[in-house]
Structures are given as structure tokens and as C-alpha cells.
């Protein structure tokens, strides 16, 4: 049992349940939309002690002494502002997500009456819109903030309703405030609850459906399958090609195809009934006889896999991956027997290749060599950062050295483009004058060290594409939600540096060998 306040009214909840179920099923506050029941979409946002929270997540027993506000609990003035602002901005289409957006907007405007566009976008980061798009919703939030600051509701941009005029939707108020009825908002005395049992596999044949245990559960009204549908089974808009439910002997088209419908007196019984029994869903490669695996109290499933008489037939066993099949369902994959040996051989060959690439003496020395390479990369990265700092410092020094003096005050100016950094490419040339071949040969035959090289040109890399990262909440995101980052690949740069170092070492060795051979040839000629 828990006691808390909802929209200014104290309430006491005897039975522990999700907050969304109490708000909707008991208090009938339909602005709290149930979009996913899993804390993903944000349509059920409410304020809990002023903080926007998804109502499908917290249990009522954890809300003792809390204050909860839904859209129904807003003041009349707030309701007028949000209805006008969202209507004026064109931020309402289907309207299913809008009450949750309003709650997130209120949480923002209560603490920040004059937010930036970026701050408004961040405030609704946990709210998913399926049709309107976020630009107009953000426009609505900013307009609402302006109205709250000015304390005056403006007149609509058009009131003559002529052809081509921009006017508010007729249903803005009911969608913004959440009292417009969707199928899930209908509550009548004595109503039952229904839900579909859906296939967990695509392109699978339904061999059998067992509904006996679910039908025997107290509180279950009925369990319906395709055979209970009178008349035509298929539905569709342009072409009637989509089955309402998949019947026995038929093949599922998609993950989530309905196989049965369960009707019960309450939601708890409904969910319990859906877990009872099992469906035989297998591809055509399986036979008609399959094994049923029953883990009492947990799961009853048909098994269409390979069966063995004892575990000795399996041999070695190694789990190689884990993935999600559906909500609450995990799949593990493994290799066994001869395939495990093949996998081990392939991995050993891969280790040898990596060892050769990293110049390790053998596989056992690979960890030490890998750590050495990482340390080398780290050192080079540090050196690169130091060089960047020196370059930046030199630019600053140059900026101040070139400062102009006006009335005894030095003024330094610089122009910044405000665009992301582009990779710079540097070319070098030999210092001093160009030499003839005979001069070069003479210098090489003596202890000539050369005069070094100098930077001849620095130009931007315009061929490598900039890195585009999708982050709509970022202040520098474009209209499509993408942020442009520099076209510098640190890993590639470090790899190029290592390659250049190795090439220099190889060239030095080659030149040294050529010089020795030439000198030896001259000695023989003498």
C-alpha cells in the first residue's frame, strides 16, 4: 500500500502495480498514453516531484509521499497556452505523443522560462514522435515559453478560414490535453481485456495450437484462433492479402503475426493466459513430430532443433553469441563436436596471422607485442598532441606579434570560419639549391649529411568526406539531425605514421646497401 498525491488530490493504492495502470485504469487519466509499456517511447510522461518520468516504469509502492502531475492537473492558463502554442506551430497530427511532450515541456519551462532551441530539443529527448516530427514540436515549446513570459495569449494568425489560410486543427485541444479518445482510452462497465498471442518467428509453419490450459484459467472468457473467424480471414487496404490470424498449417509472414486472441476479465489474468500452452512454429524443413520442452513455472516450448540420445554425442560445446529475439527472449548460439575443432583451428590460424603482422616471434608472445604496439601508439599520440599544442601556441604568438597598436592599445584580430576542422596535408622539399647528379654522387661518396627539408605547402584535404554523426540533440546538428565532425581518422593517421617510419627505415637500409655495393665496385675497379 502507498499514499501519494495525484493532481493535488491525495490517493491511497492498496495493490502494488505500475503507476500507468493506476492512473489509466483506476483514475482514468487518459492523457497518460500507453505507447510501449517498457519505458521506451515517453508517451506516458508525468511529473513526479517536478521531474518528468515515464509512468510505465515506477511501481506504486515506491511512490510513498510523492507528488504526481499529469496533463489533467495543469492550470487552466497552462492548458490554454499549450493548446494555442502547439496549434499555432502545427505540432499536432495524430496527437498520441503530444501529452507526454507537454509534460516534458512544462518540466523545462518551469525551471527555464526562456530556453534555447537546443535546450528544448534536449528536454524532449526521451519522447518519441511517430508522425509530426520534432521541428514543429520544438517550435510549439518555444512559443509556449514566450507566451508564459509575456503573460498574454496572442490572436491566431488567421480567423477568416479562407482557402490557403493557415488555421489550427479542430481537434488540437483534445489531443494536446489528452482527452481525445483512442481505442485504449475507452472504459465501460464490465468490459473485458483482449490481446493477441504473436509469433516469435517469421516464415514459420504453424503445426498446432494448444489453448486448453489458457481456456481453463479462471477469469479467461475465451481464446480465439483463425477457425473462429466467420467469413473471410484476409484483410487489407488495396488488396485483401493480410491474414487476420495465422491458422494451423499456414506459414507466418512476419515476426509478430497474430496466432490467437485471448479475452479475459482483467489484465493480470490476460497476461497469465498468454503465457500458458505453446505453439508449434517451425519452418518447412522440420518434420511433423517435434519435442516439447517444459520447464515448470517458467516456459513451455516446442523444440525443433537437433536431438541426441545423450550429451556424449555432442562432444565439445562452446557458446559463441547471444542475441535478442523478442521482448524478454534471448537466443544463444553455440558450436559443438567437429565444428568446434574447425573453429579452434581457424582461430589459431588467425592468431598466427596477427602475430606475423605485429612482428611477434610466436603466438605466446602476442600479448606482450600487442601491449608494446599499443604503448608505441600511445606515445605517438602523446607526441602528436604536443605538436598540436606547439602549433597552436605558435599561432597565438604570431597573432599577438602581428597585433596593431591603436591609441596605445594593441589589437589582435583573427578570422574563424566556424566550420569543422579539415585534415591538413603537408608537402616537403629539400632545403638549399637543386644539385646535379654528379654533385649528389660526390656528396654521397663523402661524409655528406645534407641540409634537411622544409615545408613547401600545406593544403586542406577536400577529398576525404567529413564525418557525419546523427545526434539531433547536439547544438550544431543540421535540419536532418546530423553533426559534422572533422575528417581526421586518428587510427588511420597513426597507422600512416607507423608505415612512414617503417618505410624510412627500409629506405635508409636500402640506400646504405646501395652505397656499400657502389664503393665496393669502385675498389674492385682500382
Q: How many residues does the structure list for the chain? A: 526
What is the pLDDT, as a whole number, of residue 327?
61
Q: If we measure between CA atoms, which residue out of 84, 152, 146, 70 comes closest to residue 112?
A: 146
Tell me the CA distances in angstroms from 309 to 304, 306, 313, 314, 333, one per residue in order: 15, 10, 7, 10, 20
Domain 1-187 carries which CATH code?
A: 1.10.150.120
What is the pLDDT, as a whole number, of residue 358?
82
Q: If we measure between CA atoms, which residue out of 336, 347, 350, 193 comes closest to residue 261?
A: 193
Cell of 434: 637543386
Sign of the C-alpha dihedral computed for residues 388, 390, 396 and 399 taken in this order: negative
For the chain, the structural domain boundaries read: 1-187, 193-307, 308-357, 368-415, 424-523
**Strand (E) or helix (H) holding 86:** helix 76-89
Please check whether residue 246 is in contact with residue 255, taking contact to mean a CB–CB distance below 8 angstroms. Answer: no
Cβ contacts of 101-104, under 8 Å, gap ≥ 24: 101/45, 101/127, 101/129, 101/137, 101/141, 102/71, 102/74, 102/176, 103/45, 103/46, 103/47, 103/52, 103/69, 103/70, 103/71, 104/42, 104/45, 104/52
Count of alpha carbons within 13 Å of 63, Cβ hemisphere only?
A: 33
**Strand (E) or helix (H) holding 319:** strand 317-326
Pairing type for strands 404-406 and 9-13 reads unpaired
Gap between the Cα atoms of 488 and 244, Å rounded: 53
Q: Render 446-500 in DSSP notation, one character per residue.
A: TT-----EEEEEEEE--SSPPEEEE-TTSTT--TTSEEEE-S--HHHHHHHHHHH
Cell of 356: 606475423
Asked if 1-187 and 193-307 have one fold, the answer is: no
Per the DSSP assignment, residues forming a β-bridge with 243 are 234
Tell me the CA distances in angstroms from 520 to 3, 272, 438, one per residue in order: 99, 92, 19
Q: May I ask the CATH class of domain 193-307?
A: alpha beta
Burial of 260 per CB tally in 10 Å (0-12, 13-18, 19+): buried
Please check whether residue 64 is in contact with residue 4, taking contact to mean a CB–CB distance below 8 angstroms. Answer: yes
What is the pLDDT, as a whole number, of residue 61?
94
Q: 101 in helix, strand or coil? A: helix
Cell of 71: 496533463
Cell of 335: 558450436
Residues 6+ apart with CB under 8 A from 207: 248, 249, 280, 281, 282, 288, 290, 302
Gap between the Cα atoms of 165 and 53, Å rounded: 38
pLDDT of the chain, 526 residues: tens digit per residue:
899 999 999 999 999 999 999 999 999 999 999 998 888 899 999 999 999 999 999 999 999 999 999 999 999 999 999 999 999 999 999 999 999 999 999 999 999 999 999 999 999 999 999 887 899 999 999 999 999 999 999 876 656 667 767 788 889 999 999 999 998 898 888 899 999 998 888 888 888 888 888 899 999 999 999 999 998 899 888 888 889 999 988 988 888 899 999 999 988 898 888 877 555 555 544 455 666 666 666 666 666 566 677 778 888 888 988 887 666 677 788 888 888 888 888 888 888 888 888 888 888 888 888 888 888 888 888 888 888 778 777 766 776 777 777 666 667 666 555 677 788 887 877 776 666 667 666 666 666 666 677 777 787 888 888 888 878 777 778 877 788 888 887 777 778 888 888 888 888 888 788 878 877 777 776 6
What is the pLDDT, as a whole number, of residue 285?
46
Cell of 262: 485471448
Cα-to-chain-centroid distance, residue 36: 17
Burial of 463 per CB tally in 10 Å (0-12, 13-18, 19+): exposed
Amino acid at each position: 500500500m502507498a499514499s501519494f498525491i495525484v493532481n493535488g488530490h491525495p490517493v491511497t493504492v492498496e495493490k502494488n502495480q505500475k503507476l500507468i495502470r493506476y492512473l489509466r485504469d483506476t483514475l482514468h487519466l487518459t492523457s497518460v498514453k500507453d505507447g510501449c509499456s517498457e519505458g521506451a517511447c515517453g508517451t506516458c510522461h508525468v511529473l513526479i516531484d517536478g521531474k518528468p518520468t515515464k509512468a510505465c516504469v515506477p511501481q506504486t509502492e515506491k511512490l510513498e509521499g510523492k507528488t504526481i502531475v499529469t496533463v489533467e492537473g495543469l492550470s487552466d492558463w497552462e492548458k490554454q497556452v499549450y493548446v494555442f502554442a502547439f496549434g499555432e506551430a502545427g505540432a499536432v497530427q495524430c496527437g498520441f505523443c503530444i501529452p507526454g511532450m507537454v509534460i516534458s515541456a512544462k518540466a523545462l519551462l518551469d525551471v527555464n522560462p526562456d530556453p534555447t532551441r537546443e535546450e528544448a530539443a534536449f528536454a524532449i529527448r526521451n519522447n518519441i514522435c511517430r508522425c509530426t516530427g520534432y521541428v514543429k514540436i520544438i517550435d510549439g515549446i518555444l512559443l509556449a515559453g514566450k507566451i508564459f513570459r509575456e503573460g498574454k495569449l496572442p490572436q491566431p494568425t488567421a480567423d477568416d478560414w479562407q482557402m490557403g489560410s493557415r488555421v489550427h486543427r479542430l481537434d488540437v485541444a483534445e489531443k494536446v490535453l489528452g482527452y481525445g479518445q483512442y481505442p485504449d482510452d475507452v472504459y465501460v462497465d464490465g468490459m473485458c481485456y483482449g490481446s493477441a498471442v504473436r509469433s516469435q518467428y517469421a516464415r514459420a509453419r504453424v503445426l498446432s495450437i494448444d489453448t486448453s490450459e489458457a481456456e481453463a484459467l479462471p477469469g479467461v472468457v475465451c481464446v480465439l484462433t483463425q477457425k473462429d473467424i466467420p467469413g473471410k480471414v484476409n484483410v487489407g487496404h488495396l488488396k485483401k492479402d493480410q491474414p487476420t490470424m495465422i491458422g494451423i498449417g499456414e506459414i507466418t509472414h512476419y515476426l509478430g503475426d497474430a496466432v490467437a486472441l485471448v479475452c479475459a476479465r482483467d489484465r493480470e489474468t490476460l497476461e497469465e493466459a498468454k503465457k500458458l500452452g505453446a505453439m508449434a512454429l517451425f519452418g518447412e524443413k522440420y518434420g511433423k513430430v517435434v519435442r516439447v520442452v517444459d520447464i515448470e513455472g517458467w516456459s513451455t516450448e516446442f523444440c525443433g532443433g537437433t536431438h541426441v540420445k545423450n550429451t556424449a554425442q555432442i562432444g565439445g560445446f562452446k557458446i559463441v553469441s547471444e542475441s535478442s529475439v523478442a521482448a524478454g527472449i534471448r537466443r544463444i548460439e553455440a558450436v559443438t563436436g567437429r565444428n568446434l575443432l574447425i573453429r579452434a583451428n581457424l582461430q589459431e590460424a588467425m592468431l598466427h596471422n596477427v602475430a606475423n603482422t605485429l612482428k611477434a616471434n610466436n603466438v605466446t608472445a602476442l600479448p606482450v607485442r600487442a601491449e608494446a604496439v599499443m604503448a608505441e601508439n600511445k606515445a605517438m599520440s602523446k607526441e602528436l598532441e604536443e605538436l598540436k599544442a606547439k602549433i597552436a601556441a605558435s599561432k597565438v604568438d604570431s597573432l599577438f606579434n602581428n597585433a596593431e597598436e591603436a591609441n596605445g592599445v594593441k589589437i589582435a584580430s583573427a578570422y574563424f570560419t566556424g566550420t569543422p576542422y579539415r585534415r591538413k596535408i603537408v608537402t616537403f622539399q629539400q632545403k638549399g639549391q637543386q644539385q646535379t647528379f654528379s654533385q649528389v654522387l660526390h656528396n654521397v661518396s663523402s661524409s655528406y649529411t645534407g641540409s634537411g627539408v622544409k615545408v613547401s605547402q600545406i593544403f586542406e584535404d577536400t577529398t576525404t568526406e567529413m564525418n557525419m554523426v546523427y545526434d539531433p540533440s547536439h547544438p550544431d546538428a543540421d535540419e536532418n539531425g546530423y553533426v559534422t565532425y572533422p575528417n581526421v581518422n586518428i587510427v588511420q593517421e597513426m597507422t600512416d605514421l607507423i608505415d612512414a617510419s617503417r618505410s624510412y627505415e627500409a629506405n635508409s637500409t636500402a640506400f646504405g646497401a646501395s652505397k656499400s655495393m657502389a664503393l665496393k665496385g669502385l675498389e674492385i675497379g682500382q
